[in-house]
Amino acid sequence: MQPPRILLAQLITILFVCSAFGASGISSAAEPSWTIMVYMANDSTNPLPSTDNINAMEAAPQTAGTNIIILLDEQDDGNSRILKVQHDSNLDQTPIVSIEVDDNDEVIGASNEVNTGSSSTLADFVIYCTSQWAADRYALILWGHGAGWDGLCLDRIDLLTLVELKSALTEVCSALGRPLDIVAVDACVEATIETLYQVKTFTNYFVAAQTNIPYEGLPYYQILSALAEKPGQVSAELARTIVDEYIEWSALNSQNSATLAVFDLSKMTALTNTMIRLSQQGLRYDSIFHSAIHTAMADSEYYGAEWTFDLGDFLNLLSGSNLPLEVKTLATEAHIAYSNMITHFGKFNHPDPIDGISVTNATGAVIYAPSTSPFDTRYLDLDLAGTIWDEFGKSARFVTSTNESAPGPQITYADADSDGKNDQATLAWPVTYPSVTAWIFRYSPHGMSWVKTLESSTGTISVTDIAGELMVAASASVNGSAVSYDAVTLMLNGISTIEVHLILDGVAVSEGYDVRVVSSNLIDYAVASEGKFYASLSIPTQAAVGQLVRMEVLDDNGEIMSSEHIFVPESYSIVDIELFTKNSRESADFNVLLLFSVLPGLFVLAYTVMMYVDFKKKMRKG
Whether residues 120 and 230 fall in one domain:
yes
**231 in a structural domain:** yes
Last residue of a domain, one of 428, 461, 490: 490
Q: Which of 484, 414, 431, 429 is nearest to 461 (CA)?
A: 429
Q: Are residues 51 and 75 in the same domain?
A: yes
Per the CB < 8 A criterion, the answer to whether 341 and 396 are in contact is no
Whether 260 is covered by a domain: the verdict is: no
Lowest mean pLDDT among 7-16, 246-255, 297-306: 7-16
**Average pLDDT for residues 589-612, to the nearest whole number?**
57
Rounded to a whole number, what is the distance in angstroms from the first to the last CA of the chain? 12
Residues 6+ apart with CB under 8 A from 286: 293, 395, 396, 481
CA distances for 462 relative to 466, 483, 560, angstroms:
11, 20, 44
* pLDDT at residue 169, as a whole number: 98
Q: Which of 336, 203, 176 is nearest to 262 (CA)?
A: 203
List pLDDT tens digits, range 382-407.
999 999 999 999 999 998 889 999 99
pLDDT at 521: 87
Domain with residue 429: its CATH number is 2.60.40.10
CA–CA distance from 432 to each of 59, 257, 286, 403, 408 (Å)?
Answer: 75, 55, 21, 19, 12
Q: Indicate if the alpha-carbon torsion angle 484, 489, 493, 499 is positive or negative.
A: positive
Among the listed residues 57, 103, 96, the one whose alpha carbon sits nearest the alpha carbon of residue 82: 103
**Residue 379 falls within a domain, yes or no?**
yes
Per-residue exposure over 439-460, b if at least 16 CB sit within 10 Å of its own CB, e if not = bbbbbbeeeeebbeebebeebe
Q: What is the mean pLDDT of residues 176-203?
A: 98
Q: What angle do CA 537, 540, 541 make, to 5 degrees?
A: 75
Residue-number span of the structural domain to which 555 is assigned: 495-579
Residue 309 lies in a domain: yes
Split at pLDDT 50, 70, 90, the class of 15 is: very low
Question: φ and ψ at 27, to 5 degrees?
Answer: -150, 155
Please say if the pLDDT value at position 5 is more than 50.
Answer: no
Residue closest to 83 by CA, chosen among 130, 37, 140, 145? 37
Judge if 135 and 236 occupy the same domain.
yes
Q: What is the pLDDT of residues 584-598, one digit of tens each?
A: 545 544 554 555 555
Residue 171: which H helix or E strand, with range? Answer: helix 162-176
Residue 345 has a CB neighbour count (10 Å cut-off) of: 21
How confident is the model over 50-73, as pLDDT tens digits? 999 999 999 999 999 999 999 999
Core vs surface per residue 216-252: b (16+ CB within 10 A) or e:
bbbbbbbbbbbbeeebebebbebbbbbbbbbbebbee
243 near 205, Cβ under 8 Å? no
Give mean pLDDT, residues 286-291: 96
- What confidence category does residue 24 fall into, taking pLDDT thresholds of 50, 70 and 90? very low
DSSP string, 222-288: HHHHHHHH-TT--HHHHHHHHHHHHHHHHHHH-SS-EEEEEEEGGGHHHHHHHHHHHHHHHHHHHHH
Q: Let me know if residue 6 belongs to a domain.
A: no
Inform me whether the pLDDT recorded for 613 exceeds 60: no
For every residue of 583-596, which 3-state class applies, written as one string? HHHHHHHHHHHHHH
Rounded to whole angstroms, the Cα distance separating 105 from 475 reads 64
Considering 438, 469, 490, which residue would you say is the last residue of a domain?
Answer: 490
pLDDT confidence band for 4 (50 / 70 / 90): very low
Looking at residue 401, its pLDDT comes to: 85
* 552-583 pLDDT per residue, tens: 999 999 999 999 999 999 999 999 999 976 55
Band (21; pLDDT cuts 50, 70, 90)? very low
d(CA 320, CA 324): 11
Instruction: Single out the residue of 388, 352, 348 nearest to residue 369, CA to CA.
Output: 388
Tell me if 221 sits within 8 A of 21, measured CB to CB. no
Number of structural domains in the chain: 4
3-state SS of 316-365 is: HHHHCCCCCHHHHHHHHHHHHHHHHHEEEEEEECCCCCCCCCCCCCCCCC
Tell whether 294 and 172 lie within a shared domain: no
pLDDT digits (tens, 9 = 90+) for 542-553: 999 999 999 999
Q: Could you tell me if 222 and 309 lie in one domain? A: no
**CA-CA distance, 487 to 471, in Å (whole number)?**
7
Residue 14 pLDDT: 38
8 Å CB contact between 125 and 71: yes
Same domain, 283 and 392: yes
Picking from 470, 384, 383, the residue whose alpha carbon sits closest to that of residue 423 is: 470
In the predicted structure, residue 279 carries a pLDDT above the cut 80: yes
434 and 515 in a single domain? The answer is: no
Residue 472, pLDDT above cutoff 60: yes
What is the mean pLDDT of the segment spanning 224-253? 96
Average the pLDDT over each of 9-23, 129-143, 456-470, 507-521 and give the range with the smallest value.
9-23
Q: Are 209 and 191 in contact (CB under 8 A)?
A: yes
Environment class of 92 (CB within 10 Å of its CB; exposed 0-12, middle 13-18, buried 19+): exposed
Asked if residue 28 belongs to a domain, the reply is: no
Tell me, rounded to whole angstroms, the distance of Cα 61 from its chain centroid: 33
Q: How confident is the model at residue 10 (pLDDT cuts 50, 70, 90)?
A: very low
Question: Is it the case that residue 443 has pLDDT exceeding 70?
Answer: yes
- Residues in Cβ contact with 51 at an 8 Å cutoff, skipping those fewer than 6 apart: 93, 96
Mean pLDDT for the stretch of residues 207-229:
97
- The answer to whether residue 30 scores a pLDDT higher than 50 is yes
Task: Flag whether pLDDT at 615 surpasses 80.
Answer: no
pLDDT of residue 13: 41
Q: Are residues 47 and 159 in the same domain?
A: yes
- DSSP letter for 202, please: T
| Strand positions, DSSP E, 457-593 | 460-464, 468-478, 481-492, 494-504, 507-509, 514-519, 522-525, 527-529, 532-539, 548-554, 560-567, 572-579
Summarised one tens digit per residue, pLDDT across range 350-364 is 999 999 999 999 999
pLDDT score for 612? 56
- Judge whether residue 503 has pLDDT over 70: yes
Tell me the average pLDDT across 443-449.
88
Nearest CA-CA partner of 355 in 211, 471, 497, 488: 211
Are 163 and 95 in a shared domain? yes
Q: Mean pLDDT of all residues in the chain? A: 90
Position 590 in a domain: no
Burial zone of 404 (CB within 10 Å; 0-12 exposed, 13-18 middle, 19+ buried): exposed
Same domain, yes or no: 329 and 383: yes
- Looking at residues 372-391, what average pLDDT do you find? 95
140 and 280 in a single domain? The answer is: no
Q: What percent of the chain has pLDDT over 90?
A: 84
CB 467 within 8 A of CB 545: yes
- Residue 504, pLDDT > 60, answer yes
CA distance 384 to 378: 12
Contacts of 166 (CB under 8 A, 6+ apart): 198, 199, 202, 383
Task: Please write the tens of the pLDDT for every residue from 112-152.
Answer: 999 999 999 999 999 999 999 999 999 999 999 999 999 99
- Hey, what's the torsion of the CAs at 273, 276, 281, 287, to 10 degrees? 170
Tell me the pLDDT band of 89, cut-offs 50, 70 and 90. Answer: confident
Residue 239 lies in a domain: yes
Tell me, yes or no, whether 414 and 448 share the same domain.
yes
> Average pLDDT for residues 176-182, to the nearest whole number?
98
